[in-house]
A = this chain, B = another copy of it.
């Protein structure tokens, strides 16, 4: 497939110019086996089957009743194979749902308002799926007592969402809808704030309030956020 060593080399700092819409490096396989010299290669088919079986299991059983034994059986794979690649249920599920977040895109709809509504509705679609519904909150809960897991979630899921926000902002700045903040630190904080507001509001609406994130809600939310952005910009 792809040689990982070179892809992974020098991916430490989050020092990407930020703003580019270019796709992140494509999904990295689970638990890269140490030095990869000779020997029988891991079956990519098995990987795919396991992740798919995980998602199916999440849909039918939910997070808490999902067992790794059942996933292995459904995937047509031995349980030991599964444990060779993932440390536990959390890591596996993160990778399984992370694939769904790869579908996220942000086409240019011509205005900041349209872009925001679009991204909100995309989040909503993802969070409407039963797999993500039950998995996302569970792994985040788990990550509160598991720092490596949190890092994995951030890389695989959160940053993937954040890209959309950054891209949207850059476009809006090009259109003149948003000012270019000269202070890099302040700009980053603003971006973080906006990201937490958007993602947080959608997640809360969809999972906690458990009410639909439809077009009307997206419109009202966008109106609110745009007004806030205008006021915040004026404040500067």
Residue in A197, A199, A205 with the greatest tally of chain B CB atoms within 10 Å = A197
Q: Cβ of A86 < 8 Å from any Cβ of B? A: no
Which residues of chain B have C-beta atoms less than 8 A from A204's C-beta? 196-197, 199-200, 203-204
Across the interface, name the chain B residue whose C-beta is closest to A162. B209
Tell me the A182-225 residues at the B interface (CB within 8 Å). 189-190, 192-197, 199-205, 207-211, 217, 220-221, 223-225
Q: Cβ of A126 < 8 Å from any Cβ of B? A: no
Contact B228 A64 (CB under 8 A): no
Across the interface, name the chain B residue whose C-beta is closest to A189. B220
Q: Cβ of A19 < 8 Å from any Cβ of B? A: no
Q: Cβ of A231 < 8 Å from any Cβ of B? A: yes
Q: In the assembly, what is the distance between CA of A54 and CA of B124, in Å?
A: 34
Which residues of chain B have C-beta atoms less than 8 A from A200's C-beta? 197, 199-205, 208
Secondary structure of the A contact surface, majority rule: helix
Stoichiometry, copies per complex: 2
Residue in A140, A194, A209 with the greatest tally of chain B CB atoms within 10 Å = A140
Q: In the assembly, what is the distance between CA of A199 and CA of B235, in Å?
A: 24
Q: Cβ of A68 < 8 Å from any Cβ of B? A: no
Could you list 29 A-B pairs, sorted by A, with CB under 8 Å? A62-B142, A62-B145, A64-B141, A64-B145, A130-B144, A130-B145, A133-B144, A134-B145, A137-B141, A138-B138, A138-B141, A153-B208, A193-B220, A193-B221, A196-B205, A196-B208, A197-B221, A199-B200, A199-B208, A200-B208, A203-B204, A223-B231, A224-B228, A224-B229, A226-B231, A227-B227, A227-B229, A227-B232, A228-B231
